[in-house]
A and B are shown apart, each in its own frame.
Chain A
Amino acid sequence: MQMNKNETQAFALNLNVKSAVPIFEQVRNAVKTAIFLKKLNEGDQLPSIRELALQYKINPMTALKAYSLLEADGFLFSRRGSGFFVQIDKDKIKKEKKGVFEKEVEGFIEKINGLGYSVIDLKDELEKYVKGK
């Protein structure tokens, strides 16, 4: 069954099978990212479990798990008979975004550390960047 073009664009999911990140986690992250990037808005309908499973060839249980967790997180709600819909809780999103931000920074710092640069170097570089703007 073909999905709506809008939804396809809104919700990009590239499953990395090599990743240790479980599939449900990957789905969850993809949805969250789409919400953060404002590609999914309040009230948008997400693909059904079936569509998700069929399109990406994943176990429907996995899809269900992902959605259940999203629902528990408050990012979507399910209407019986109709499907799953995006829910925007600004506070929660802010919190999540912050969480993502922190994680990204941490990861970034680790990376540059690996290259041999310290946080001080980073600070200098950032100042240069801001001044350049």
Chain B
Amino acid sequence: MISIKKLNYGFGTKKVLENINLDIRENEAVLITGSNGAGKTTLLRIIAGVLFPYPGTFQYGLALGNQPMSRIGFISDQISLYQSMSLQEAIAFHSQLYQVKNFDTTILTEAKLDLKKKISDHSVGQKLIFHLSLVLSTRPKLLLLDEVLHAIDPYLREICLKRILDLLILGETTLVMVNLNFHDIENIPQRVVIIRDNTIALDQPLEILKDKVKKIVSKKEMPELHALHERSFADRHEYYVYPFEESMLKDQGCEVLDLNLNDIVTAFIGGEYA
């Protein structure tokens, strides 16, 4: 669906993305994450068509058809909408451009949003819900979400996730999310891409990561582990290792623990800050 080869992006002397190679297949659910300022949002913007890559490094696949932009739904981390429009106007505007015939207002009703009020009269969470419903209404083939869910209250978040999952269930959508918060979406992505030092540090299916990224707790120091990230406490040392091998536990007094997504990502990013 998307093919990225040796993508470089920067402005002036500042390099934001270096040598990015990424292929996204149809109906995948991909999580892109990394430390702040790693370039995730920039990457997403490039995919969305808002920023231009250098020629030859980026290509939309056939699945997106002749007009890729009309099949892409994008929500950026800063709410970008014509805020002085009323919800109704924005819906009409959006629908006309994306040729949406019947706009489904159920999310908005559930969120108790008044269609006649202006966008700017709403809270951040409400704006996000609205933007999301706009985007979802176009039944995008590629859904790009940049840190969208954190500002929405838990109830509405639930609703939004269900809507997103609906699209995944129907098998029509490919999801690329940028998130720094994994609580709600632990089980949604199938693949995790971590951006570090402006390049892709990791690109693996989540199952493998769950299998191979472990935390080893030991009383002794174990520098030979070449851990991704380590934490030292008074009574113990914690090492995040990848890929995990049984042989790492040769010493007694070592314990190996499984990690959730949050910890996995921390392991990778934490190394960056060390």
Pick the contact of B258: A19, A56, A60 (CB < 8 A).
A19
Docked-complex contact A56 and B187, CB < 8 angstroms: yes
Docked-complex contact A17 and B168, CB < 8 angstroms: no
Docked-complex contact B258 and A59, CB < 8 angstroms: no
Binds B, one of A47-55, A71-79, A83-91: A47-55
Q: Which residue, A19, A49, A53, has most C-beta atoms of chain B within 10 A?
A: A53
Instruction: Tell me the complex Cα distance, A127–B259, Å.
Output: 40
Q: If the complex has contacts A17-B261, A22-B207, A22-B210, are A60 and B187 also in contact, measured as CB distance less than 8 A?
A: no
Distance (whole angstroms) from the CB of B186 to the closest CB of chain A: 5
| A33 lies within 8 A of chain B by Cβ | no
Write out the residue numbers on chain A whose beta carbons fall within 8 Å of the beta carbon of B210: 19-22
Hey, what's the 0/1 contact readout for A12-50 against B, CB within 8 Å counting as 1? Answer: 000101111111000000000000000000000000011
| B40 lies within 8 A of chain A by Cβ | no
Docked-complex contact A61 and B187, CB < 8 angstroms: no
Docked-complex contact A60 and B168, CB < 8 angstroms: yes
Write out the residue numbers on chain B whose beta carbons fall within 8 Å of the beta carbon of A21: 210
Distance (whole angstroms) from the CB of A108 to the closest CB of chain B: 19
Docked-complex contact B187 and A23, CB < 8 angstroms: yes
Instruction: Tell me the complex Cα distance, A54–B168, Å.
Output: 11
| B63 lies within 8 A of chain A by Cβ | no
Pick the contact of B161: A22, A49, A57 (CB < 8 A).
A57
| B169 lies within 8 A of chain A by Cβ | yes
Docked-complex contact B169 and A50, CB < 8 angstroms: yes
| B214 lies within 8 A of chain A by Cβ | yes
Docked-complex contact B258 and A57, CB < 8 angstroms: no
The closest CB in chain B to the CB of A23 belongs to B187
The closest CB in chain B to the CB of A63 belongs to B169
Docked-complex contact A53 and B169, CB < 8 angstroms: yes
Distance (whole angstroms) from the CB of B7 to the closest CB of chain A: 27
Pick the contact of B29: A18, A20, A23, A59 (CB < 8 A).
A59
The closest CB in chain A to the CB of B213 belongs to A20
| B5 lies within 8 A of chain A by Cβ | no
Q: If the complex has contacts A22-B210, A49-B169, are A61 and B260 also in contact, measured as CB distance less than 8 A?
A: no
Instruction: Tell me the complex Cα distance, A58–B189, Å.
Output: 8
Docked-complex contact A53 and B165, CB < 8 angstroms: yes
| A68 lies within 8 A of chain B by Cβ | no
Hey, what's the 0/1 contact readout for B23-63 against A, CB within 8 Å counting as 1? Answer: 00001010000000000000000000000000000000000
The closest CB in chain A to the CB of B161 belongs to A57
| B185 lies within 8 A of chain A by Cβ | yes
Docked-complex contact A58 and B188, CB < 8 angstroms: yes
| B181 lies within 8 A of chain A by Cβ | no
Docked-complex contact A57 and B165, CB < 8 angstroms: yes
Show the binding face of A for B, using Cβ within 8 Å: 15, 17-23, 49-50, 53-54, 56-62
7 tightest A-B CB contacts, nearest first: A58-B187, A20-B258, A17-B260, A60-B169, A18-B260, A17-B186, A22-B207
